[in-house]
């Protein structure tokens, strides 16, 4: 049976891209797929970070997931650091990872070249990500392009470990999400909307006037025709895709960017209003949300413990 993992880093507020590209597919699949929603707080420590902010965002992301419709009975919402087996397996996997193999990761090269001090955890991040996947016997991981190489590493490490030390891990498959579910930055439509990149972002908790202004400011072009052309009209194409993803509708006026933006604003608002309202309800009782996180952790932990026990034994550690 399929076991699916979707991870979120508490590095910023969840945005429309996270909803359409990750949360909504997760929610749609939860009736018939065993999924885990992982809030990867340890991964948020690999770059310069503010402790207060990471703590607040971890709770906020959990609350937004519940508000968006993640049912924790079907899809446990797991805070990575609350399952110590992730870090234990991380170390064990480091012992089958080459230094050069980690140093070759494109994301490490890019982020470490950006200047400033580089944390060792940035280098070993993909190994921890492999541990996140392998510790739960995950079979399917939806990955965007930026995580492709990391998923390949997870597969390599699992296969290598199994062949050297005996059958221990399930080798996961990468699942390519629908390209149309990729939301681009509104101000810079050639890069994806991100929590920590770009400026044209729609936060899932942004109030209506902020959403309206973000859409109004979205870059378009001088063609004055509403059509999908990712090469030449990336901004307009993104707005058309967002409209379709949010409402299932096509633009009604092929000649007006103003009309397109009004339709996008309405469609986004229709999608976000109930999430905002439910978030406000959950946010009244953070203790309840924390209890859900504790219950989720308790539910998934036995499998993590069993996986680590197999790995320890395979490697020759005394039990
Ligand atoms: P960061 O900029 O810190 O990497 P992010 O916005 O990319 O943040 P992640 O926590 O890395 O968010 O990813 C959470 C999930 O959301 C992943 O499944 C990722 O593939 C998906 N996702 C992120 N951005 C988009 C986007 N613009 N469109 C569709 N899906 C996205
Ligand atoms: Mg990302």
Q: Where are the beta strands (DSSP E) in 65-156?
A: 77-79, 140-142
Q: Kindly state if the Cβ of 315 falls inside 6 Å of ligand 1.
A: no
Tokens standing for residue 2:
């399929």
Q: Kindly state if the Cβ of 252 falls inside 6 Å of ligand 1.
A: no
Q: How far is the CA of 318 from the centre of ligand 1 (A)?
A: 40
Q: How far is the CA of 317 from the centre of ligand 1 (A)?
A: 37
My answer on whether 80 and 189 are in the same domain is: no
- The atom number, within ligand 1, closest to the CA of 8 reads 10
Give the residue whose CA is nearest to atom 30 of ligand 1: 21
Q: Kindly state if the Cβ of 197 falls inside 6 Å of ligand 1.
A: yes
Q: How far is the CA of 144 from the centre of ligand 2 (A)?
A: 8
Element (H, E) at 140: strand 140-142
Question: Regarding beta strands 3-8 and 34-39, do their DSSP bridges make them parallel or antiparallel, or are they unpaired?
Answer: parallel
pLDDT tens digits along 64-115: 999 999 999 999 999 999 999 999 999 999 999 999 999 999 999 999 998 8
Beta-ladder partners of 174? 141
Band of residue 317 on the pLDDT scale cut at 50, 70, 90: very high
Which whole number is the average pLDDT over 217-235? 96
Q: Kindly state if the Cβ of 192 falls inside 6 Å of ligand 1.
A: yes
- The atom number, within ligand 1, closest to the CA of 142 reads 18
Question: Regarding beta strands 173-175 and 140-142, do their DSSP bridges make them parallel or antiparallel, or are they unpaired?
Answer: parallel
Rounded percentage of the chain residues whose pLDDT exceeds 70: 100
Return the best residue to mutate from 143, 194, 199, 239 for the ligand 1 pocket (most ligand atoms within 8 A of CB): 194
My answer on whether 191 and 60 are in the same domain is: no
Give the residue whose CA is nearest to atom 25 of ligand 1: 17
Q: What is the pLDDT of residue 21?
A: 94
C-alpha torsion angle, residues 78, 307, 22, 122 (rounded to 10): 90
My answer on whether 82 and 196 are in the same domain is: no
Band of residue 7 on the pLDDT scale cut at 50, 70, 90: very high
My answer on whether 58 and 176 are in the same domain is: yes
pLDDT tens digits along 240-255: 999 999 999 999 999 9
Residue 38 or 180, more confident? 38
Query: 30 lies in which domain range?
Result: 3-180+285-315
My answer on whether 227 and 241 are in the same domain is: yes
Q: Kindly state if the Cβ of 180 falls inside 6 Å of ligand 1.
A: no
Whether 3 and 189 have beta carbons less than 8 Å apart is answered as no
CA distances from 296 to 37, 78, 172 (A): 10, 6, 22
Q: What is the pLDDT of residue 145?
A: 83
Please name which of 74, 182, 174 lies closest in space to residue 133, comparing C-alpha atoms: 174
Phi, psi of 167, rounded to the nearest 5 degrees:
-50, 115
111 is catalytic: yes
Task: Give the CATH number of the domain where residue 122 resides.
Answer: 3.40.50.620
CB atoms within 10 A of CB 190: 12
Task: Give the CATH number of the domain where residue 236 resides.
Answer: 1.10.240.10
109 is catalytic: no
Q: Kindly state if the Cβ of 174 falls inside 6 Å of ligand 1.
A: no
Tokens standing for residue 36:
């885990």
My answer on whether 159 and 203 are in the same domain is: no
My answer on whether 28 and 115 are in the same domain is: yes
Give the residue whose CA is nearest to atom 16 of ligand 1: 18
State ipTM: 0.98
My answer on whether 173 and 73 are in the same domain is: yes
Q: How far is the CA of 100 from the centre of ligand 2 (A)?
A: 23
The DSSP call for residue 3 is: E
pLDDT tens digits along 119-176: 999 999 999 999 999 999 999 999 988 899 999 999 999 999 999 999 999 999 999 8
My answer on whether 82 and 158 are in the same domain is: yes
My answer on whether 141 and 187 are in the same domain is: no
The region of weakest confidence among 194-198, 208-212, 273-277 is 194-198
pLDDT tens digits along 264-292: 999 999 999 999 999 999 999 999 999 99
| Residue located via tokens 């998934």 | 300
Q: Does the structure show a pLDDT above 80 at 179?
A: no
Please name which of 27, 35, 82, 75 lies closest in space to residue 59, comparing C-alpha atoms: 82
Band of residue 20 on the pLDDT scale cut at 50, 70, 90: very high
My answer on whether 131 and 191 are in the same domain is: no
Element (H, E) at 78: strand 77-79
Q: How many domains does the chain have?
A: 2
- The atom number, within ligand 1, closest to the CA of 193 reads 27
Predicted structure pTM score: 0.97
My answer on whether 158 and 248 are in the same domain is: no
Q: Mean pLDDT for the chain?
A: 96
């Amino acid at each position: 049976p399929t076991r699916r993992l979707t991870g979120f880093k508490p590095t910023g507020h969840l945005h429309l891209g996270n909803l359409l590209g990750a949360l909504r597919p997760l929610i749609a699949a939860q009736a018939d797929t065993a999924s885990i929603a992982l809030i990867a707080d340890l991964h948020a420590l690999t770059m310069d970070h503010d402790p207060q902010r990471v703590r607040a965002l971890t709770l906020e992301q959990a609350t937004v997931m519940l508000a968006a419709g993640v049912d924790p009975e079907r899809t446990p919402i797991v805070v990575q650091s609350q399952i110590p087996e992730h870090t234990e397996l991380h170390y064990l996997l480091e012992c089958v990872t080459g230094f050069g193999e980690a140093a070759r990761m494109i994301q490490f090269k890019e982020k470490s070249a950006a200047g400033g001090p580089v944390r060792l955890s940035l280098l070993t991040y993909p190994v921890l990500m492999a541990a996140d996947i392998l510790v739960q016997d995950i079979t399917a991981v939806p990955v965007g392009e930026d995580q492709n190489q990391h998923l390949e590493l997870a597969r390599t490490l699992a296969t290598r470990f199994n062949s050297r030390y005996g059958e221990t891990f399930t080798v996961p498959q990468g699942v390519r999400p629908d390209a149309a579910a990729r939301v681009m930055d509104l101000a810079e439509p050639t890069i994806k909307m991100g929590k920590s990149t770009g400026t044209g972002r729609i936060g899932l908790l942004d109030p209506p006037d902020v959403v309206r202004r973000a859409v109004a400011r979205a870059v378009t072009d001088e063609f004055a025709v509403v059509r999908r052309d990712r090469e030449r009209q990336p901004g307009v194409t993104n707005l058309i895709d967002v409209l379709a993803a949010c409402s299932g509708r096509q633009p009604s006026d092929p000649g007006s960017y103003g009309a397109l933006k009004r339709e996008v604003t309405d469609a986004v608002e229709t999608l976000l209003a109930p999430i905002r309202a439910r978030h406000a309800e959950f946010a009244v009782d953070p203790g309840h949300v924390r209890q859900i996180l504790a219950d989720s952790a308790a539910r998934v932990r036995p499998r993590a413990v069993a996986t680590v026990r197999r790995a320890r034994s395979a490697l020759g550690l005394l039990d």
